[in-house]
Amino acid sequence: MFTEEITKVGYISRSVPTDKDLKTLILELKKEKNAVILAHYYVNPDIQALADVVGDSLALAHAAKKTNADIILFCGVHFMAETAKILNPNKKVLLPDLNAGCSLADSTPAEDFEAFKAAHPGAVVVSYINCSAEVKAMSDIICTSSNAVDIVNSIPLDKKIIFAPDKNLGTYVSKVTGRDMILWEGACVVHVNISLDKLKALQLKYPDAELIAHPECETEILELASFIGSTKALIDYAQESTNEVFIVATEAGILYKMRELMPNKLIIPAPALETNSCACSECPYMKMNTLEKVYNALYYELPEIQLDKAIIKKAAIALENMIAVK
Residue 289 binds ligand 13P (CB under 6 A): no
Closest CA to 16 of 24, 6, 7: 24
Residue 40 is given by DSSP the state E
Exactly one of 88, 103, 230, 281 binds ligand 13P (CB under 6 A); that residue is 230
* Interface positions with ligand SF4 (CB under 6 A): 42, 77, 102-104, 130, 188-190, 216, 251, 283, 285-286
Q: How far is CA 249 from CA 48, 86, 192, 282, in A?
A: 20, 30, 10, 11
Residue 281 binds ligand 13P (CB under 6 A): no
State the minimum distance, in angstroms, from the CB of residue 222 to ligand SF4. Answer: 15
The one of ligand SF4, ligand 13P, none whose footprint includes residue 189, by CB under 5 to 8 A per kind, is ligand SF4
Q: With 0-12 CB in 10 A as exposed, 13-18 as middle and 19+ as buried, what is 47? A: buried
| Local structure of 83: helix, strand or coil | helix
Residue 103 binds ligand 13P (CB under 6 A): no
State the minimum distance, in angstroms, from the CB of residue 286 to ligand SF4. Answer: 6
Largest CA distance in the chain: 64
Closer CB to ligand 13P, 123 or 136, in the complex: 136
Beta carbons of 306 and 238 less than 8 angstroms apart: no
Beta carbons of 286 and 43 less than 8 angstroms apart: yes
Closer CB to ligand SF4, 119 or 278, in the complex: 278
Binding mask 183-202 for ligand 13P (x = CB under 6 A): -----x--------------
Closer CB to ligand SF4, 58 or 286, in the complex: 286
In one-letter notation, the amino acid at residue 225 is A
For 130, the enclosing helix (H) or strand (E) is: none
State the minimum distance, in angstroms, from the CB of residue 225 to ligand 13P. Answer: 14
Tell me the sheet residues that pair with 125: 162
Exactly one of 144, 147, 193, 281 binds ligand 13P (CB under 6 A); that residue is 144
Binding mask 198-227 for ligand 13P (x = CB under 6 A): ----------------x-x-----------
Closer CB to ligand 13P, 56 or 210, in the complex: 56
Q: How far is CA 15 from CA 18, 69, 95, 136, 291, in A?
A: 9, 26, 18, 36, 12
- Stretch of residues binding ligand 13P (CB under 6 A), selected from 140-148, 176-184, 196-204, 219-227: 140-148
* Contacts (CB under 6 A) with ligand 13P, residues 57-76: 57-58
Beta carbons of 78 and 98 less than 8 angstroms apart: yes
Q: How far is CA 47 from CA 173, 285, 290, in A?
A: 32, 14, 7
- Stretch of residues binding ligand 13P (CB under 6 A), selected from 91-99, 105-113, 139-147, 273-281: 139-147
Rounded Cα distance, 15 and 13, in Å: 6
Rounded Cα distance, 7 and 1, in Å: 10
- Stretch of residues binding ligand 13P (CB under 6 A), selected from 56-64, 197-205, 293-301, 304-312: 56-64
Residue 145 binds ligand 13P (CB under 6 A): yes
Q: What residues contact residue 320 under an 8 Å CB cut-off, 6+ apart?
A: none
Chain positions contacting ligand 13P, by CB under 6 A:
56-58, 102, 130, 144-146, 188, 214, 216, 230-231
